[in-house]
């Protein structure tokens, strides 16, 4: 295993312990509102702190971008760790056991290593640039489904950007007519990991942040899939609007998404 991936896995497992321990005493977890429909808990902060400490022990010079801490610039800005300590915070707060720790490493702006860890199921998704993607050490691949008929797509609702509700619902309605069914499980990092593992055939969502998707994106690419924005371009990290699937099915998904983009989305 790549030495940086090794540390990322250690950091994710350490954060996982913080999260599962707190889950047993959910009544003691402090929940604060960061903004409309946006929560942060004492656990998000503690888990992020654990990850940062684990990284800093081995790589004090690297830059770290965390959902809760923002940018911690190191002396070597060529290597950036992009971390979401608890993806699926709403699930966690409600006691729904579906969330993950997401850690990605970019080298000179390119995704290089990725970990998505589901501490409840002890499922560790990993990817290294050019070396494929794994679930608990076993190679995973995206599905090869070519048409929407019979597919299961994962998605998330734009709950923090409700101005896009109508456009989103129109995309959803159009896709729903053609697919077998949809899943809205509440963790974008796990949705992408599930695309990589072939558990779902594709994923689309509006208004995500870089730490929600960075690790999942490398998982999907290394599992043989493709990640684009809603127009089929490569602006998804900036826009937060994302589609992931195998390349054939992704084109089919875009056909139902594009007519509803309007001017504000891409
Ligand atoms: P979080 O739990 O870390 O906030 C739910 O749809 C998933 O999307 C979660 O992964 C959640 O991450 C993430 N998410 C973050 N911002 C979002 C937004 N503006 N709209 C929808 N989902 C968002
Ligand atoms: Ca997140």
Binned at pLDDT 50, 70 and 90, residue 255 comes out as very high
CA dist 191 and 59 (Å) reads 29
Binned at pLDDT 50, 70 and 90, residue 50 comes out as very high
Instruction: Quick: pLDDT tens for 161-178.
Output: 888 899 999 999 999 999
Residue 266 has pLDDT above 80, yes or no: no
Least confidently predicted of 11-20, 72-81, 210-219, 245-254: 72-81
Residue 263 has pLDDT above 70, yes or no: no
pLDDT of residue 8: 98
CA angle 140, 130, 73 (to 5 degrees): 105
- Residue 250 is part of a domain; what is its CATH number? 3.40.190.80
- Exposed / middle / buried, residue 75 (Cβ in 10 Å: 0-12, 13-18, 19+): exposed
Ligand 1 centroid distance, CA of 75 (Å): 30
Domain boundary pick from 105, 139, 173: 139
Q: Provide the strand spans (E) within the chain.
A: 31-35, 38-41, 62-66, 70-72, 76-87, 100-107, 110-118, 123-128, 133-135, 138-140, 152-155, 181-183, 202-205, 226-228, 242-245
Query: Do 91 and 207 lie in a common domain?
Result: no
Q: Choose one of 66, 68, 88 to mutate for the ligand 1 pocket test, by most ligand atoms within 8 angstroms of C-beta.
A: 88
- How many domains does the chain contain in total? 2
Range of the domain at 130: 3-139
Query: Do 243 and 164 lie in a common domain?
Result: yes
Task: Quote the percentage of the chain above a pLDDT of 70.
Answer: 98
Residues within 6 Å of ligand 1 by CB? 84, 87-90, 156, 158-161, 186-188, 207-209, 212
Instruction: Quick: pLDDT tens for 149-164.
Output: 999 999 999 988 888 8
Residue 193 has pLDDT above 70, yes or no: yes
> What Å distances lie between residue 212 and 176, 230, 250, CA to CA?
24, 16, 20
| CA-nearest residue, atom 23 of ligand 1 | 208
Task: Report, as an integer, the average pLDDT of 175-185.
Answer: 98
Domain annotation covers residue 125:
yes
- Exposed / middle / buried, residue 266 (Cβ in 10 Å: 0-12, 13-18, 19+): middle
pLDDT of residue 264: 67
Torsion of CA 197, 45, 78, 107, to 10 degrees: 0
Backbone angles phi, psi at 7, to 5 degrees: -70, -40
Q: Choose one of 156, 183, 210 to mutate for the ligand 1 pocket test, by most ligand atoms within 8 angstroms of C-beta.
A: 156
Instruction: Quick: pLDDT tens for 116-140.
Output: 999 999 999 999 999 999 999 999 9
CA dist 180 and 120 (Å) reads 28
Query: Do 134 and 157 lie in a common domain?
Result: no
Query: Do 114 and 9 lie in a common domain?
Result: yes
Neighbours of 116 (CB within 10 A): 32
Binned at pLDDT 50, 70 and 90, residue 4 comes out as very high
Query: Do 7 and 132 lie in a common domain?
Result: yes
The arrangement of strands across the sheet holding 110-118 comes to: 70-72, 62-66, 76-87, 100-107, 110-118, 123-128, 133-135, 138-140
Which 8-state DSSP code applies to residue 146?
Answer: -
């Amino acid at each position: 295993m790549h030495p940086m991936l090794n540390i990322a896995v250690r950091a994710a497992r350490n954060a996982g312990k913080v999260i599962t321990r707190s889950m047993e005493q959910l009544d003691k977890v402090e929940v604060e509102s960061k903004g409309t429909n946006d929560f942060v808990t004492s656990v998000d902060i503690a888990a992020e702190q654990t990850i940062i400490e684990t990284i800093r022990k081995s790589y004090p010079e690297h830059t770290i971008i965390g959902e809760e801490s923002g940018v911690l610039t190191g002396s070597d800005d060529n290597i950036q760790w992009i971390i979401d300590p608890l993806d699926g915070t709403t699930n966690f707060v409600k006691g729904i056991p579906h969330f993950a720790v997401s850690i990605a490493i970019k080298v000179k702006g390119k995704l290089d290593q990725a970990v998505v860890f589901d501490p409840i199921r002890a499922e560790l998704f990993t990817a290294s640039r050019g070396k494929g993607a794994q679930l608990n050490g076993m190679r995973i691949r995206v599905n090869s489904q070519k048409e929407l008929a019979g597919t299961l797509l994962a998605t998330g609702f734009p709950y923090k950007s409700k101005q896009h509700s109508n456009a989103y619902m129109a995309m959803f309605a159009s896709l729903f007519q053609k697919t077998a069914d949809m899943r809205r499980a509440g963790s974008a990092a796990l949705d992408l990991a599930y695309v990589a593992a072939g558990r779902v055939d594709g994923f689309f969502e509006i208004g995500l942040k870089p730490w929600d998707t960075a690790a999942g994106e490398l998982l999907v690419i290394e599992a043989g899939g493709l990640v684009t924005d809603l127009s089929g371009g490569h602006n998804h990290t900036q826009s937060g609007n994302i589609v992931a699937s195998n390349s054939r099915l992704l084109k089919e998904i875009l056909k139902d998404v594009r007519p509803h983009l309007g001017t504000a989305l891409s």
